[in-house]
Structure formats: structure tokens, C-alpha cells
A and B are shown apart, each in its own frame.
Chain A
Amino acid sequence: MSNFNKTAEKAFDILLKEGVDIACEQEGLSYPPPDEKIIFSKEHNKKMAKIFKAEKRKLWHKKALKISKYAACFLAIIMLISAVTIYNVEALRVKFLNFVFTSDYEGTSFNFEEKEEEKEAPPENNTDIAFGYVPEGFELIDARQKKENIHIRYASGENYFQILRGDLSGNYNVDTENGTYENIKIDGLEAVYFTNPNINSVVWNDSYYIYIITSNISKEELIKIAENIKK
């Protein structure tokens, strides 16, 4: 069939629909109303009532099925909300840190929610950070600074620890996969200690910065390093 023929056929079908619809309506209206009222038998009335009853039952079943689907969705939403609530309760446990952390399977992300007017300006000379305690055998292998953000790494063979000091407006990720955490204090400040088979971390903040130390050394050593940081 040629393209023109196809186009003409489509146009014809559109007009056919219009014309046939009108014919259908007119033909329906052309049926004369019966001259007299029909008296139906009792048997017929019973059968019709049965037909309508069966139809209503069918519709009711359909409706019930639909409602049950909605109910299932509603239940799923409630369960989801409950899960989020439970999760939020966990988050509340570290609220003293003035940040919230959201956990996913890769790690934990920190977002500080401090209001702008509540923020204190950092001291002018804020680029220095030093370790008052460094475990024996560890050497400085990397130190970088970008504006107020500082990253310092020490290592001894395969062991290492590194500190990240960042401003409170940033987002920070800590590897917490398959790990646990506990609340501790660093230099009198509330902190969280995370540990998993790969890494130990301690996270805390003061009025100006967040501090994250990650390492593969023991918890005791890690806390000792954290407590002896000279800001």
C-alpha cells in the first residue's frame, strides 16, 4: 500500500468513526417505544434479580481486591515509615555531636545542621594542627591543606592513621560498613567511635571544625592520638 493510500485510509477511518457513531446513535433513537407496558413473568424477574446479584457480587470481589491492594501499599508505607523512625532514633543517639549521619551500605555521611547565625567564626590562625602523640615508628607521609581543610597521614609499614579536619558546612564520609559505633569523649567533647573489620574511626567536632581520624591501629591508640591533637 502506498504512503498516500495509507494516509487516505487513516483519514477515512477518522471520518468512518464519526459517521458510524452518528448512525449508531440515530438508529438507537429510531426504535419506537413499546405501545404497552410489558408484564414480565415472576420467573423472569427472579432470573434477572439473580443476574444482577451475581454481577454485584463480582463487582464487590473486584472492589475488595482493589482495596486489598491499596491496603498492602498502605501497610508497606507504614512499615517504611516505621523503619525510618527507628533509624532516626539511632541518629538521635549522636545528636549531641550537632550533626546527623545517614548510613548506607558504603559508609556514613555527615551533614552538619548548625544554623548560620549560630556558627562561630574560626580563629584567624587556624591552619595549624599538630599531633601531641604519635605512636612509635610512625612517620609523616602526607600533609595537605586547602583553605581551612587539613589532611595529614602517618604510616608505619602497613599501619596508618590519618586526620581530616574540615569545616562544618561540608559533607564527610566514613567507612562504617558492617561496623559498630559507640559514644566516647575526646578532650571533653562528645565523639563517636566507629569500628569495622577494615578500619577504626573517631569523629567529633568543636565549634569550628569536624575532626575525623581513621586508622587500622587499636582503639586505645587512636583515642590517645585524638586526645593529644594540638589545634
Chain B
Amino acid sequence: MILFDICDEKDLHKTEQLYFFHKDLLFSLAYEILQKHSLAEEAVQETFIKAIKHLQKIEDIKSGKARNFLAIICKNTALDILRREKKSLPADDFEPFSEENNFESLIIGKETVRSITRLTKELDEKYRNVLYFKITFDMSNKEIAQALSISEELVKKRMQRARRILLEKIREEELL
């Protein structure tokens, strides 16, 4: 868009600023999945339609968090488009039943934060995304479900599963 190329970023509205800073990256991420220019553009458009609803959760538009927020939505949107186009990609909607977590015997310290950061990054993307949306961006299950095009029940299950995986891994490392 010519407007974004010639305008001073300060003149732009927050949504436009976000677009201005992240459009190329988002297009690249979507293109990687869809391998088609028009579909990747469609993914970028849908990403912003979804992201607009949660703009208040983004404090610094240039931050890694903002970039990750948009990237997660964009990749999921691209996968949705791919499913729609190919009609063969199975929907990722199965989660094992989650049991209540046992926090007893857990040793919690400063080191735990570093472990959580590292282990979060090692988590499967589907759990990681829910964790980011729920914890970092304080989104409700309904909002996450809409942003990721999955059911609220699945959001709930993934959140439980993500916490349990992290808890178990931290406990395992403590025993080593």
C-alpha cells in the first residue's frame, strides 16, 4: 500500500502501525504455509481482522510479544485457509483427558522461571500458542478459540495439558 510507504509511522493508527511493522513478516509466514501469493495476502488480511479485537493487549507494537501475537494468528489463519483449500488436512482437535495436577513436592525457585521459559519454547506449537494467548495476552478461552479457530473446549484442554507438561518436566529436572 502506497500510504504505508510514504506516511510517517506516527501518523498512523495503532492497527496501521502494526501492519506497517509486521506485514512483510506475516506475509512470509503465511506464504511458507500456503505457497500462493493471493492466499498469503488473504491470511494477512484475516490476521488483522482477528488482531484488531485484541489491540488493547498489545502495549508495544514493535515488541517481540506483538510480533509473536500476530505470527501465531497469521500461521493459524494460514493453516485454516490451507484446510479450506485442500480439504484434506485434518483438524487438530484431539486432546487427551487432563487430570488434576499435583503441585506437592514441587520445589519452586528463581531457576524455575528460566526452566519454564526454556521448556515453553520446547513445547509443541499448539500448546505454546494457547499458553501465550492465555498467560501473556490475558485472553479468555472464547477469544483464543476465535483467534485460533478452535473450540473453547479444546482451548481449555490445551491449556491444562500445557501446564501439566511444564509441571512434569520441571519436576523431572529437579530429580536429576
Contact = CB atoms under 8 A, between A and B. Distances in A.
Contact of B116 (A11, A15, A38, A56): A15
A22 B27 CA distance: 25
A21 B136 contact: yes
Interface in A1-42: 1-2, 4-6, 8-9, 11-12, 15-31, 33-34, 37-38, 40-41
Interface stretch (B16-24, B84-92, B139-147): B16-24
B38 A41 contact: yes
Given A23-B116, A24-B132, A38-B27, A45 B1 contact: yes
B131 interface: yes
B8 interface: no
B104 A22 contact: no
B44 to A, nearest CB: 7
A105 interface: no
A51 interface: yes
A25 B19 CA distance: 18
Chain A facing B: main interface SS: helix
A4 B108 contact: no
A148 interface: no
A113 B1 CA distance: 72
Contacts of B10: none
Nearest to B16: A52
Contacts, number: 140
Contacts of A33: 24-25
B3 interface: yes
Contact of B117 (A26, A28, A52): A26
A48 interface: yes
Nearest to B68: A28
A48 B136 CA distance: 27
A206 interface: no
B13 A20 contact: no
A27 B116 contact: no
Nearest to A42: B1
A117 to B, nearest CB: 61
Given A8-B106, A41-B37, A49 B101 contact: no
B167 A12 contact: yes
Contact of A51 (B3, B45, B103): B45
A20 to B, nearest CB: 4
Contacts of A52: 13, 15-16, 19
Interface in B119-175: 119-121, 128, 131-132, 135-136, 163, 166-167
B68 A12 contact: no
27 contacts: A4-B104, A5-B102, A6-B103, A8-B108, A12-B106, A15-B113, A15-B116, A16-B163, A18-B113, A20-B116, A21-B135, A21-B136, A24-B64, A24-B65, A27-B121, A28-B65, A28-B68, A29-B67, A30-B64, A34-B25, A44-B1, A44-B45, A51-B15, A51-B48, A51-B52, A52-B15, A55-B52
Q: Which 4 A-B pairs have the closest CB atoms?
A: A19-B116, A28-B64, A28-B68, A8-B103
